[in-house]
A and B are shown apart, each in its own frame.
Chain A
Amino acid sequence: MNKTFAVIRREYVERVRTKAFVISTVLLPVFMVLAVLLPGLMMSGGNRTRHVAVVDASGSGLGQPVSEVLKAATFGDAKNAKPRYQVQVFPADAANLAQVRDGLIAKTGFAKDRQPDGWDGVLVLADSTLASGKLTYYGDNVSSPNSMSQLQRDVSKALAGVRLAKSGVDQALVSKAMASADLDTAKVSDGKLTGQSGEASFMIAYFMGFVLYLATLIYGQQTMTSVIEEKTSRIMEVLTSSLTPFQMLLGKVLGVGSAGLTQMAIWVGSAFVLGSQGARLAGAFGASAEAARSFSIPGIAPSLMVVFLLYFALGFLLYGALYAAIGAMCNTIQETQQYAIFVTMFVLVGFFSVFALIKDPTGSLGVTMSYIPFFSPFTMPVRWSMTSVPLLQLCVSLALMVLALLACVWLAARIYRTGILMYGKKPSWRELWRWVRA
């Protein structure tokens, strides 16, 4: 056991000390910050007050109610929220419509450069607008679906108000009646509220699956490479004389695994800091709080966190052991590729099953997959986050995983023991089977 621990420590320390480890550990959170901030920064134009010129050629004074509704629109619900639009109405008629419109369009697109007479967009109300609802907007932000649907909603509201007023409905009643519905979702589990929204559950499950997927591929390959490296450097001839292959491989899988888990812990930790402090950080970088909020990571229930971490660690090590077995049967990295693809496929099937599970987390597919050690690290956290999983199922599934992990290391050790001195010769499947039984 002490010997295994020596191998674990060596693998861990040597890995954590490398420049590559330090650099990747630091760089990924930097990328995460950028991933949170960049879209925010790019969309920060979206919550700048837009200068809109309303050309009113409706002939029925439609410009007035439209501009009032637009002026009343704000970002968010707060008391002193920023208005969405700054509006000025330009009356026109059918004769000079084109002239007025083109004159304004010529100044459109300069508003963000703080030019006093520049516009972000020109909204043209024609005489048929009230009846048909057709109107045209010329602007530099037409390619932003968010801004356009917001504008459309605001204008629709104004038109509906005018139409209702014409039919004799009181203006106050109109605005009360037009208040839009605001749907909040909440997850119920076992008749109790969990305090998570449906969207949040999905995001967490998806995020977990993705992290495991990524970690497995990166660190599994590292375990494999490290086994191969030991063969090419011939160090294992000294090691096999004092360690059993099982000790060597278990130490390797656990050592590389803990290095990976350390890195993951740093990454996930920084992701949560970002999630909780995202708004403040975004503010520091000049992006709006709202933009940052749309990328925030929802809070995770402690029990889910425990389940996730258990499955993550076990799944991670299990796949590490599989990759170690592949390393044991090959002599070069190139050779490993044809075998590694099978493991990658397992990971992919596990990962994509998450999407099927989200539709039906209690179905037999989910339960079956929870018992298959290669898939359960993906399916169990998802099921846990979306429904309640019986404790017995959880225990059986975890026990199966531990067994599978040891079996994999054992299998890898059998292959390793025989394959160790087979330099330069690639085994056939039949030979592999013989090695395992030997």
Chain B
Amino acid sequence: MTAASVRIESVTKRFSGHTAVNRLSMEVAAGGIFGLLGPNGAGKSTTIRLIMGILEPDEGKIVLFDSPHGSRALSQRIGYLPEERGLYKKMKVLDHLIFLGETKGIGRADARKRAQVWLERLGVSEWALKKVEDLSKGMQQKVQFAGALLHEPELVILDEPFSGLDPVNAQVMKDIVVGIAKEGRTVLFSTHVMEQAERMCDRIAIIARGEMVVNGTVAQVKADFGGRHVALGFSHDRQRAAAILADPRLIARIDDYGASAELKMADGADPEQLLAALVREGVGLRRFEVVEPSLQAIFIAKVGADPTATPLPAAGAAA
């Protein structure tokens, strides 16, 4: 469990005109769930494709399981769900899963058994003999998910695994991913949904414009971000809070969601001061809580890509 599942060493990948990944280094330790976060176009998929050996890095290198071999030679130990979902539309679901298993080096009879177990588990076993094209998008995604996990890989790489799923199916997939991590296997998944990453991941890396922004365990990332944070929920008279929330002596940064907000206190300011001021003004509060910064807040502060966030004038100095 000490060996790193994935080690990326100063990797650069350029496409005609722009640099998708720029001297990126990171390490995914064996075991647990690793979240690769970043806004759209940050280079998440490119990074994953580089790990999978679909793309070759222009510079730097990628080492899997501390082995000198590339991902293709190790493909039996790796499961991959690409961002662009694709299956043979005319094939029957069961046949397709068997084929995917075979390409991972599993025998035909074994692949059939495993495919049936997975279809059962994902609740699509009655579709086993239907053609892929007859399935809904969500069901196709489940099939592909099963195809990536069929051979019980010790490293599972999922590119945006929950996009396009309804809440019920997303829950089913989440349980499976968590289950894999519990078995001591490694999951690396990319997402731009921070809440999900926050709840599931042991470790994260936030990348933007192809470069590493933050990297570490979730707790560590939050501690490093520092400051005291307050989550507010308004019940009435929201407008009376405007002047207080705009006061740079109290507040360094605010993510305003309308009925709620997440604040970072200015240096030297006290959450009690803030509460007193809000009560004095007669602002109706539903919630007032001193919290850890959310990944969302950290992400926005670091990447600055979310237009809904309004950095205060003093924010630059504080952050």
Contact = CB atoms under 8 A, between A and B. Distances in A.
Interface of A: 2-3, 6-7, 10, 13-14, 18, 233-244, 420-421
| Interface-centre pick from B54, B71, B88 (highest chain A CB count, 10 A) | B54
Given A237-B82, A421-B54, A421-B55, A242 B103 contact: yes
Interface in B32-69: 49, 52-55
A67 B84 CA distance: 86
Contacts of A234: 82, 84-86
Contacts of B121: none
B86 A233 contact: yes
Given A238-B147, A242-B103, A242-B104, 13 more contacts: A2-B102, A3-B102, A6-B102, A237-B84, A238-B82, A238-B86, A240-B52, A240-B53, A241-B54, A241-B71, A241-B72, A241-B80, A421-B49
Nearest to B82: A237
Given A234-B82, A234-B86, A241 B52 contact: yes
Contact of A237 (B54, B78, B88, B103): B54
B89 to A, nearest CB: 7
Interface in B105-145: 105, 144
Contacts of B88: 10, 14, 233, 235
A3 B71 CA distance: 16
Nearest to A242: B75
A238 B91 contact: no
Nearest to A243: B103
B82 A3 contact: no
A241 B78 contact: yes
A420 B102 CA distance: 22
A13 B99 CA distance: 12
B137 to A, nearest CB: 14
A235 B103 contact: no
6 contacts: A233-B88, A237-B54, A237-B84, A237-B86, A238-B82, A242-B103
Contacts of B318: none
Contact of B103 (A18, A239, A420): A239
A417 to B, nearest CB: 9
B240 interface: no
B275 interface: no
Question: Which 10 A/B pairs are nearest by Cβ-Cβ distance?
Answer: A234-B86, A6-B102, A242-B75, A235-B86, A234-B84, A237-B82, A241-B52, A242-B103, A233-B86, A241-B80
A238 B104 CA distance: 10
A242 B95 CA distance: 17
B102 A236 contact: no
Nearest to B151: A242
Contacts of A239: 103
A244 B75 CA distance: 11
Given A14-B88, A14-B91, A233-B88, A238 B80 contact: yes
B29 interface: no
Contacts, number: 68
Interface size class of B (residues with CB under 8 A): 20 to 34
Contact of B105 (A2, A238, A420): A2
Contacts of A10: 88, 91, 95, 99
Contacts of B99: 6, 10
Contacts of A242: 72, 75, 80, 103-105
A265 to B, nearest CB: 24
B103 A6 contact: yes
A241 B53 contact: yes
B14 interface: no
Contacts of A2: 102, 105
B212 interface: no
Contacts of B72: 241-244
A5 to B, nearest CB: 8
A324 to B, nearest CB: 17
A3 B105 contact: yes
Contacts of A237: 49, 54, 82, 84, 86
A342 to B, nearest CB: 27
| Interface-centre pick from A237, A244, A421 (highest chain B CB count, 10 A) | A237
Contacts of B87: 233, 235
A241 B103 CA distance: 10
Contacts of B301: none
Nearest to B99: A10
B249 interface: no
| Interface-centre pick from B84, B89, B104, B144 (highest chain A CB count, 10 A) | B84
Contacts of B147: 238
B18 to A, nearest CB: 14
Contacts of A244: 72
B286 interface: no
B182 interface: no
A241 B86 contact: no
A233 B54 CA distance: 16
Contacts of A241: 52-54, 71-72, 75, 78, 80, 82
B180 interface: no
B33 to A, nearest CB: 20
A236 B88 CA distance: 10
Contacts of B236: none
B103 A3 contact: yes
Interface in B137-191: 144, 147-148
Nearest to A234: B86
Contacts of A6: 99, 102-103
B94 to A, nearest CB: 13
| Interface-centre pick from A7, A233, A238, A243 (highest chain B CB count, 10 A) | A238
A277 B100 CA distance: 47
Contacts of B85: 234
A115 to B, nearest CB: 61
B287 interface: no
Contacts of A3: 102-103, 105
A236 B85 CA distance: 10
A237 B53 CA distance: 10
